[in-house]
Amino acid sequence: MWKKREIIKYLKRMKLRIYLIALLTLLLAIIVIHAKKKNQIQKASIQLLEKETKKLNLDECQSVQQQVITKLRITGKTRKAIICAVKSLDNDHHNGWLWSELGTLYNLNEEKSKATTCFKQAAKLSGKISEFVHTWHFIGPFIIGKAEVDGDPVEYFGGIHNVSRKRFDKKVRFYSELTSGGEIKWKKFDQRAESDPVQISPDVNWNELISSMGSLAITEWQGWAVGEFAVNNKDEDVLVQCHGVSHLLVDDVIITGDVYRRSEYWFGIQLTPGVHSLYIPLRSKGPITFQCRLKLAGAQKFTVHKPTMQPDLVDGHVLGDMLAIPVTNLQTRKWLKKIKISISEQYTGVPIELVQEPPVNIAPGQTMPVKLKFKEVGLGSDQKRECKEISFKLTVTSAEGISEHVTINLRCRRLQQSFIFTFLDHDGSVQHAASISPTKDCPQGVCPVVLTLHGTGVPAQNQADGYKRMEKGYWIFGLDSAWVLAPTRHGAHNWEGPGMLTAITALSKLKQLTKKSPWMKNTVDENHVIFAGHSMGGHGAWHLATHYPDRALAVVPLAAWNKKEEYGDSNVFFRHDISASDVDPATKSILEACIAENEVDRHVSNLQGVPVLSRIGANDRTVHPFFLRRMYRRLKEENVNITYKEIPGKEHWWWDTWTTNDGGAVNDPQLRTFMNEYSSITSTFDQSCDSVEQDCSITSKGRYSNNEIDGKSYTLTVINPALGESLKGIRIIQQIVPYRTSKVKMSFSANGVTMETINVNKLSISDVSHVGITWSSLHLVINGLPVTIEKTPVSLCKKSGLWEQCDYGNIMGSDKERGPANYGPARRVAESSFLIVIGTQNKESAPQLLQLAVYIANLFVLTSDTIAPIIEDTMLTEQQAEDNNLIVIGGVDENIHTSKYLEKLPITYDKDNGFKLGECSFTSSRTGLLALAPHGKQGLALILMGNSLTGLRDVVNLATPTIPPMTRSPFSNMVPDFVITGPEFSRKGAGGYLCTGFWGNQWEYRLELSSCAC
């Protein structure tokens, strides 16, 4: 007899066999059903062909070539195209693309059942979607300017949708000054595989143009690439990824590309079965390489990406407690609701927990970084800890209960090394910076900072690690008596706009982190800074020092350029632009005023009293010494203490200046001596200051005192009061004519100061502790008249030529009056946390408004890692509105918030009479409005609307960054306070602006601040 154990074993084996037999039976049944379904599809398609060949006169078709059928379809000859497609398939019914073509033609002919049969057969042969475009048609090259906005020559012929219908016509010609004879025609490029990039190299004699025109910028060109793909299944979310281009059109819908070529980002669009077109605006210097791929989202609802910024542990302690997890909503019709993130498992390291953040919603097709904050659990702030990495798994869930996971590994660094910390930035995004602590202790444990800015493409840690040298065979990182801080921001910010504000925020955040870490011996003084940088970062050093002069101990710009518009061919201002033939001089001056605040040579007077060491390799051809020589001359003219050196035999970057590993381009003995000298400040620290929130900077002596500035003169120069801080405690708050040069000239004597103001309407005076000037003890004369100051801070306003005290509590701006908090231009709306508010009141336009909002939001994350939440107008709460700036999309009958902001501006709109501004009326059916408006106490709202969908799309295009190989953040370059676009905008660029300009100090319309002429 069998033993009990053997019987159990036998039964288990039998049970397993039964399961296997059942599984095999099920699989066989599925295969049989699938085969039957395929046979049914095959049978139905063959029957359709048989019926159509009998019904149609196939002799009417002269050619069955694929391009002939496509040409017939796109030129509207649907019936003849059907005949040719049927005739071709009758000879070869295994051509999947032709079945997609025929299905599309039946749809155009409103024969839906026939179309369905065709698409089913196409899906059987070719799959549910084409994975890539097999044939591209190219028209170009056309000339283009270097700014984001320029005209498109094909718009003169009806736009790319119309022009592309003639791409098979060899007689069609277009016109371009780049090519011999001035004419160009369509060309064809084949793509053999999905992995193959498309390279287009226009047939142009570039060398001859460069030589004759004396311009490298002439090599910049624009054009269009057009291709087709097929969707063979309904109710599918199609994902598109195009690398090497900034944006594209799928049929008539604009979506983001990615010039940074990151493989993880895909962007969704809802498409019906049929043949669809990709229209890609190309922009390049010389040859261009791009690559587009397509796929279906399938059952996956969203994708979680690894964070691009992670903090380090320093000596076992968490330093920087923010993460941003990018999440892509792959759905094109449904929102991702209530996205939450939790720690599902921790593998190693000190215990941590997440600080609960409110759940977020992500719009269909949107990619958005989701912020989270974490903290250590149950551990003290002891100095001795094991340096062990933290590893944990995050789970991201939606309201539908779907989960995705991502693993996070935080490395551990020593205090003597460079380390990364993360922080919440000025615009609500999560950013990161690298830092190195001082090699020696500072007086009272408070150290100045060398704020060092990197060049193009240099990571933050690499910039920080540039501050090393070798001594006695050992690497020494950092400086003796100063923190090294190397911030960063993704994108082509040039340390202007968002990049500058990120650098200043990193400075403040490092101070907070060091004060919260008692195991560190040295904290940060954010008000005593040596501004330094290399290449693009050298420009940033100039830029920050000239706009934050009271913080500047010294400036060390290395291999620096002055302004982007004059640096090589990077951003030439209105030289080769299509729009240059049409743009009004008044418009040009307004656009230039948008960027004049970034021109450092205009602001050199602000560096009076600040020592400067500026260097460059004598053989540098990346940044020619010309730029530093110009600054050398300008600073000498302003009596600034500047040392300028051109290092013989050196190019743009080097590691060894005089000896091996001596610190090289940014940290050799000359530079270290200079930085150590000006970072060693004799001072007394305020011992009573022990709170993280209090200003615990060096207070007693600082850089100046009333005695030390006797007989000295200083000039504060400002283009836009919204940017920067004070000089000697003086800050310009409001201008008489906004966005024009303003100056305050100061002459100090033993017990007084005489000021002369130019284009200043309001200024503030403060006793800045780290500057050490006591204004209440000085006899003040402004423009020849005495002004009494009893205490500071104080605000002075100019009324009828006299200066008198005014309300200090309202100096930054309000919904009635403009100040530094709410001056423009348009980009300022994204320099604080903001929401994109979409209209939902019109059922026909609401989907288009949502799609345009998603496009703008995706541009923000791709170009600058900016968090741009989208919210429906009816869902916006008072608290959300109060806490954020707003980008409001939709007209007065589409968005419930638009009227409220239009009422605060001197512009009116109604359906019958269009827009009215001053004496000008704009009634064209294609008119768009972008307008900055006051919001809340000191916030901003940016209105985007049109009297038609095309008018709205025109102003949305002002957000589009285009400059290769890097692109700037939306609205960040030359977009003033308001722009009204007209029907010629698409072909004339800025020459098609009906009116543009800036609002006045009370949000009024002022003729001298606008380009209107009517």
- Quick check: 572 pLDDT over 60? yes
Among 36-45, 370-379, 528-537, the range scoring the smallest mean pLDDT is 36-45
pLDDT at 771: 74
Q: 501 vs 341, 400, 540, 593, CA distance in Å?
A: 28, 38, 11, 20
pLDDT at 701: 43
Instruction: Name the average pLDDT for the chain.
Output: 90
pLDDT category of residue 27 using cuts at 50, 70 and 90: low
Task: Break the chain into its structural domains and give their ranges.
Answer: 4-126, 135-299, 308-414, 433-563+599-684+696-701, 713-810, 826-1009
Question: Looking at residues 441-463, what average pLDDT do you find?
Answer: 94
pLDDT category of residue 266 using cuts at 50, 70 and 90: very high
CA dihedral 112, 117, 118, 122 (to 10 degrees): 130
pLDDT at 528: 95
Instruction: Please state, in angstroms and rounded to a whole number, the distance separating the CA atoms of residues 542 and 556.
Output: 8
Q: Does CATH number 1.25.40.10 belong to domain 4-126?
A: yes
The runs of H, that is alpha helices, within 127-243 are 160-163, 206-213
Q: What is the pLDDT of residues 384-417, one digit of tens each?
A: 678 889 999 999 999 988 889 999 999 999 888 9
CA dihedral 513, 517, 523, 527 (to 10 degrees): 30
Whose tokens are 């498309």? That residue is: 198
Q: What is the pLDDT of residues 115-149, one digit of tens each?
A: 999 999 999 999 999 888 999 999 999 999 988 89
Q: What is the pLDDT of residues 76-93, one digit of tens each?
A: 999 999 999 999 998 888
What fold characterizes domain 433-563+599-684+696-701? Rossmann fold (3.40.50)
Domains 433-563+599-684+696-701 and 826-1009 share a fold: no
pTM of the model: 0.93
Q: What is the pLDDT of residues 290-346, one digit of tens each?
A: 999 999 998 899 999 999 999 999 988 888 889 999 999 999 999 999 999 999 999
Whose tokens are 């002369």? That residue is: 756
End-to-end CA distance of the chain: 110
- Quick check: 14 pLDDT over 70? no
pLDDT at 808: 64
Do 731 and 549 form a contact (C-beta atoms < 8 A)?
A: no
C-beta neighbour count of 23 within 10 angstroms: 10
Among 11-15, 97-101, 225-229, the range scoring the smallest mean pLDDT is 11-15
pLDDT at 15: 64
pLDDT at 37: 47
Instruction: Out of 3.30.1560, 3.30.379, 3.30.1490, 3.30.460, select the CATH number for domain 826-1009.
Output: 3.30.379
Question: Looking at residues 160-186, what average pLDDT do you find?
Answer: 94
Q: Comparing 461 with 702, which gets the higher pLDDT?
A: 461
pLDDT at 378: 74
pLDDT at 29: 55
Q: What is the pLDDT of residues 865-924, one digit of tens each?
A: 999 999 999 999 999 999 999 999 999 999 999 999 999 999 999 988 899 999 999 999
CA dihedral 51, 52, 57, 60 (to 10 degrees): -160
Instruction: Please state, in angstroms and rounded to a whole number, the distance separating the CA atoms of residues 652 and 663.
Output: 15
The runs of H, that is alpha helices, within 867-913 are 878-883, 898-902
Indicate the CATH number for domain 308-414: 2.60.40.10
* The one-letter amino acid at 732: I
Do 995 and 922 form a contact (C-beta atoms < 8 A)?
A: yes
pLDDT category of residue 679 using cuts at 50, 70 and 90: confident
In the chain, pLDDT over 90 holds for what percent of residues? 74
Copy the structure tokens of residue 185.
């025609």
Question: Looking at residues 418-432, what average pLDDT do you find?
Answer: 97
pLDDT at 234: 87
pLDDT at 28: 62
Q: What is the pLDDT of residues 268-293, one digit of tens each?
A: 999 999 999 999 999 999 899 999 99
Q: 334 vs 270, 400, 403, 525, 961, CA distance in Å?
A: 11, 11, 16, 48, 27
Q: What is the pLDDT of residues 826-849, one digit of tens each?
A: 999 999 999 999 999 999 999 999
* The one-letter amino acid at 109: N
- Quick check: 807 pLDDT over 80? no
Q: What are the residues facing 868 on neighbouring strands?
A: none
pLDDT at 962: 83
pLDDT category of residue 681 using cuts at 50, 70 and 90: low
